[in-house]
Amino acid sequence: MAAIALPKDPMILLSYINTMLRDNYSNLQVLCDDMEISKEDICTTLYAVGFAYDKALNKFI
């Protein structure tokens, strides 16, 4: 899969990433590798609005 343009709005990004994790990916690293997107950028953006990735739950909370 080629790199895609992610939503700019952090809340829409949160919903998008969590949906992809729930429906298609076993963890965040696999999602990022497959979609050719930066794990650091996603984590930084979502952390700035109060969310962090939880490995055990495989979602941002």
pLDDT tens digits for range 2-45: 567 899 999 999 999 999 999 999 999 999 999 999 999 999 99
* Residue 47, domain member (yes or no): yes
Number of structural domains found in the chain:
1
What domain range includes position 42?
Answer: 10-60
| pLDDT at 12 (0 to 100) | 98
Residue 33 has a CB neighbour count (10 Å cut-off) of 13
| pLDDT at 2 (0 to 100) | 59
* Residue 5, domain member (yes or no): no
Query: Would you say 55 and 27 are in contact if contact means Cβ atoms under 8 Å apart?
Result: yes
| pLDDT at 50 (0 to 100) | 98
| pLDDT at 16 (0 to 100) | 98
| pLDDT at 1 (0 to 100) | 57
Q: pTM score, two decimals? A: 0.92
* Residue 1, domain member (yes or no): no
* Residue 53, domain member (yes or no): yes
Residue 26 has a CB neighbour count (10 Å cut-off) of 9
Element (H, E) at 60: strand 59-60
